[in-house]
Amino acid sequence: MHDPHHSHGHHHDHGHDHGHPEHHDHRSAAAAFAEESHYFDHIYLAEGHDQNEKRTLWVVWLTAATMVIEIVFGWLSGSMALLADGFHMATHAGALAVAAAAYRFARRHARNPRYTFGTGKVGDLAGFASALLLALTAIFIAVESGIRLFQPVQVAFGEATLVAVVGLVINIASAFLLGHGHSHDDGHGHIHADNNLRAAYIHVLTDALTSVLAIGALLAGRYLDWWWMDPAVGLLGAAVIARWSWGLMKDTASILLDTAEPVLTAAVRREVETQGAVIRDLHVWRIGPHAHAAIISLAPGADGPAVRARISALPRMEHVTVECG
């Protein structure tokens, strides 16, 4: 049973009070449809969503082409470092394709009423999947490099180095394409990341890293006869990839599990207390790359609309529900 002050609003001019008039059934069908459409218009996609999708598609094609070249030449030359780079790029091509598909899905279903809070988290789901692929890649490279460390094979260092340099150039170009939109500061000390683009960016950076390491290992093997550098560098690359994977996995998992952000939650509490209201229950979570939501239950006597207005004014607070009573 709700107090007459029960209110529900959205920062993007969707604010409306949920009173329940006795003559509710006398509304026209057109008015009812308009209200339903208005209610489900919850679009919380990242800023520059369409541009990020196009960038990701370009990188998918670049990565796929480089992947084929490196795997073929790595196999023919016998270079574990080059094969590791190629197979690493194979998983990244798949992960980047998932990222591109996630952008398309989120855009096409942004107004679908089945998704109560929109499709803003689709990118985080894709980012989590990419993190898992990165972890599997790290395991594969570590195992294969360990085997090569104890069972060395002949490597065609010159040819493999040339192809690794080409791969590095492609990776740098891809990083440049993706590096302009994966995060930004909102001006209040909070970094808001598009984790889908961030995942794609990390994939490209790890590709660049393994290319650099492969080049160093191949040159050492060719001119210093340090054959062990090739598998040793594979192990080092696997460790770095695993660390990046873990960081991305933690960040995306926290969003998918609706983990509260302490700083924002504290700000909400301060705004409520400023109005002299007492909080009975509070939920604050992220619903998109740059959007948050809050559901606040207040003790009787609180000024619901005033509290909602204060909370909606907080940076990136896009959906606010206040219940009194």
Percent pLDDT > 90 in the chain is: 14
pTM: 0.69
| pLDDT tens digits, one per residue of 232-289 | 888 888 888 898 889 889 989 998 999 888 899 999 999 998 888 899 999 999 888 7
Residue 70's nearest CA partner among 210, 234, 235, 219 is: 210
Domain boundary among 223, 256, 289: 256
Residue 183 lies in a domain: yes
Could you tell me the residue range of the domain that residue 304 belongs to? 260-324
DSSP 257: T
Residue 185 and residue 110 share a domain: yes
Residues 71-108 pLDDT 10s: 887 788 777 666 766 776 777 777 778 878 888 887 78
Query: Quick one: pLDDT at residue 193?
Result: 60
In the structure, how many helices (H) and strands (E) does the chain have? Answer: 9, 7
pLDDT at 21: 39
Mean pLDDT of 288-312: 89
Residue 111 predicted with pLDDT over 70: yes
Domain boundary (256, 289, 308) is at: 256
Share of the chain above pLDDT 70, in %: 77
Q: How many domains does the chain have?
A: 2
E strands, the chain, where? Answer: 7-10, 16-17, 183-185, 191-193, 279-288, 291-298, 317-324
Spatial separation of the C-alpha atoms in residues 98 and 168, rounded to whole Å: 23
Does residue 183 share a domain with residue 246? yes
At 170 the pLDDT is 83
- 168 and 282 belong to one structural domain: no
pLDDT at 7: 44
- The region of weakest confidence among 2-16, 48-62, 132-146, 289-303 is 2-16
pLDDT attached to residue 122: 84
Q: How confident is the model at residue 120 (pLDDT cuts 50, 70, 90)?
A: confident
CA distance from start to end of the chain = 8
Mean pLDDT of 108-120: 79
Compute the mean pLDDT over every residue in the chain, rounded to the nearest whole number: 76
Do residues 166 and 282 both lie within one domain? no
Over residues 176-198, the mean pLDDT reads 58
In a domain? residue 136:
yes
> Is the predicted pLDDT of residue 184 greater than 80, yes or no?
no
Burial class (CB in 10 A: 0-12, 13-18, 19+), 28: exposed
CA atoms within 13 A on the CB side of 211: 24
Over residues 52-59, mean pLDDT: 77
| Same domain assignment for residues 100 and 205 | yes
* Sheet containing 291-298: order of strands: 16-17, 7-10, 317-324, 291-298, 279-288
What 3-state class would DSSP assign to 295?
strand
Residue 67: per-residue pLDDT: 80
With bands split at pLDDT 50, 70 and 90, how would you rate the model's confidence at 24? Answer: very low
